[in-house]
Amino acid sequence: MLSDQAGDGKRTSLHGFWSSRMAFILAVTGSAVGLGNIWKFPYIAGQNGGGAFVLVYLFCVVLIGMPVMMSEILIGRRGRRNPVASMALLGEEEGSSRNWQWVGGMGVLAGILILSYYSVIAGWTLEYVAKSASGVFTGASADLVGAEFGAFIGDWRKVVLVHTLFMGLTIFVVARGVERGLEQLVKFMVPALLVLLLVLLGYSMTSGHFGEGLAFLFMPDFGKLTWESVLVALGHAFFTLSIGMGAIMAYGAYLPEDTSITGTSTAVVAADTLIALLAALVIFPLVFANDLNTAEGPGLVFQTLPLALGQMPGGAFFSTIFFVLLSFAAWTSAIGLMEPAVAWIVEQFKKTRAQAAVMIGGLIWLLGLCSAMSFNVLSDFRFLINVDTDGDGIMDAKGTIFDNVDYLTSNIMLPLGGLLITVFAGWVMCRNSTADELGGSGGFYTAWRLLARFIAPIGILVVLINAVS
């Protein structure tokens, strides 16, 4: 495997390259911006008390997320393989061991597990496109919107149907290859999402309790912060940036040599954080204005927005567009979640992309059935982690399958993956290799190396140890 160097001493990608720097930025942004920003961030910020949690999340994004993302891209571009093979190859080349491939392997597994429930929630957004367009929310009361949501997720056939539909769409795109189609979608989707969020922000500023929402999100009350919420904030920084599991590493493998890794990472991190904060700024004023529960949980965005928009002129239209864009955002993220597994199957077992997409996608669909049913028929099947079911801040039950898979992947696997990736890039890879990829040894390089060698790994370890002990 080490003999496949290109003539200039650099390896070349097995799957082709991004057509331009912009194409790469779009793909990474498409992967980063998704349900994490609009569905997950607001609901976990609500469950973890707002302000202090948001602040910790922002620190994690900058001090840990940035160096991990840069490390992933540089490893991917230097290895030019799927995450498993890149880690094995570089591990050997840098004089360590091929065992680093297990980090890639854990990423492949994390992607499969995350997509199994991600697809279920993405299915909800598809359902909400139809529901919004049908006008059921026009003038509806909070009780009605809540009942509508409860009845939907309580019906396993519907939830499984939309999960199936979403996985079908994802498999379709992945089967067609890395370069085609999607870049175009992201180019239109991310700006459209931004504009729509700004329109909704205008609405929320005038009709919601904006001051209250702002205070909730940005006035930290550190009394509410536990190590557990710090771990959730850290886990979410990984989840929302698509890092710690090799998605960005897999994309980095198709990146041309001359693209700046620092510049790309900064742009993606900024866009992703902006969209998450905007979504929360839209949602919380409406939560307060309608007397909803900030700690509502996974149903938060599916109840708050239809309710508020149902009272706004043209609400059915805006609500439909909103869920269409959210479905697109979920779609481009789902593709990133599958990429490490698919690239691995293609390279390792010499399958075509289409075969790999169907195999992996089928497995994910099957696993997803468990999460889909954890909201209805299996809702009493609870184990392992503790959760707060009524939003009063007291952990009063064990988690469902969905809760457990989400916790295990976001809060354990991704941070652990990120820890090993930064240790690899910061300590195992020699200075020359990383400086070569990051373009020299100036101030940015020194800052990256400091973060990747010390701040990020130590930060992750401290949070993990304190939260699980």
Contact between residue 127 and residue 326 where contact means Cβ atoms under 8 Å apart:
no
Query: Shortest Cβ distance from residue 248 to ligand PHE (Å)?
Result: 8
Distance from C-alpha of 264 to C-alpha of 297, rounded to nearest angstrom: 33
Cα distances from 250 to residues 73, 290, 330, 447, in angstroms, run 8, 43, 18, 24
Residue 8 makes CB contacts below 8 A (sequence gap 6+) with: none
Query: Shortest Cβ distance from residue 185 to ligand PHE (Å)?
Result: 15
Rg, C-alpha atoms of the chain: 21
Can you list the alpha helix ranges (DSSP code H) found in 20-62?
21-32, 35, 41-47, 51-60
Output DSSP code: residue 409. Answer: I
Query: Shortest Cβ distance from residue 6 to ligand PHE (Å)?
Result: 29
Distance from C-alpha of 251 to C-alpha of 75, rounded to nearest angstrom: 11
Q: Between residues 173 and 245, which has the closer beta carbon with respect to ligand PHE?
A: 245
Q: Which of 324, 328, 298, 313 is nearest to 149 (CA)?
A: 298
Q: Between residues 243 and 295, which has the closer beta carbon with respect to ligand PHE?
A: 243
The string of DSSP codes covering 177-198 is -SSSSHHHHHHHHHHHHHHHHH
H/E segment holding residue 227 = helix 227-241
| Residue closest to ligand PHE (Cβ) | 36
Judging by beta carbons within 10 Å of its beta carbon (0-12, 13-18, 19+), is residue 202 exposed, middle or buried? exposed
Q: Between residues 23 and 435, which has the closer beta carbon with respect to ligand PHE?
A: 23
Q: How many CB atoms lie within 10 A of CB 10?
A: 12
Q: Between residues 341 and 401, which has the closer beta carbon with respect to ligand PHE?
A: 341
Query: Shortest Cβ distance from residue 151 to ligand PHE (Å)?
Result: 26
Query: Shortest Cβ distance from residue 140 to ligand PHE (Å)?
Result: 28
Q: Between residues 36 and 50, which has the closer beta carbon with respect to ligand PHE?
A: 36
Query: Shortest Cβ distance from residue 242 to ligand PHE (Å)?
Result: 3
Query: Shortest Cβ distance from residue 137 to ligand PHE (Å)?
Result: 24
Judging by beta carbons within 10 Å of its beta carbon (0-12, 13-18, 19+), is residue 71 exposed, middle or buried? buried
| CA torsion angle 243 248 249 252 (round to 10) | -150
Distance from C-alpha of 452 to C-alpha of 435, rounded to nearest angstrom: 13
Judging by beta carbons within 10 Å of its beta carbon (0-12, 13-18, 19+), is residue 156 exposed, middle or buried? middle
Contact between residue 24 and residue 251 where contact means Cβ atoms under 8 Å apart:
yes
Kindly list the residues in this chain that would bind ligand PHE in the complex (CB under 6 A).
Answer: 31-32, 34-37, 114, 239-240, 242, 245, 247, 333, 336-337
Q: Between residues 290 and 371, which has the closer beta carbon with respect to ligand PHE?
A: 371
Query: Shortest Cβ distance from residue 5 to ligand PHE (Å)?
Result: 29
Q: Between residues 230 and 334, which has the closer beta carbon with respect to ligand PHE?
A: 334
Tokens 């949980």 sit at which residue?
297
Q: E strands of 302-433, at which residues?
A: 383-387, 397-399
Distance from C-alpha of 324 to C-alpha of 289, rounded to nearest angstrom: 25
Q: Between residues 140 and 360, which has the closer beta carbon with respect to ligand PHE?
A: 360
Query: Shortest Cβ distance from residue 439 to ligand PHE (Å)?
Result: 25
Query: Shortest Cβ distance from residue 1 to ligand PHE (Å)?
Result: 26
Q: Between residues 174 and 245, which has the closer beta carbon with respect to ligand PHE?
A: 245
Q: Between residues 153 and 279, which has the closer beta carbon with respect to ligand PHE?
A: 279
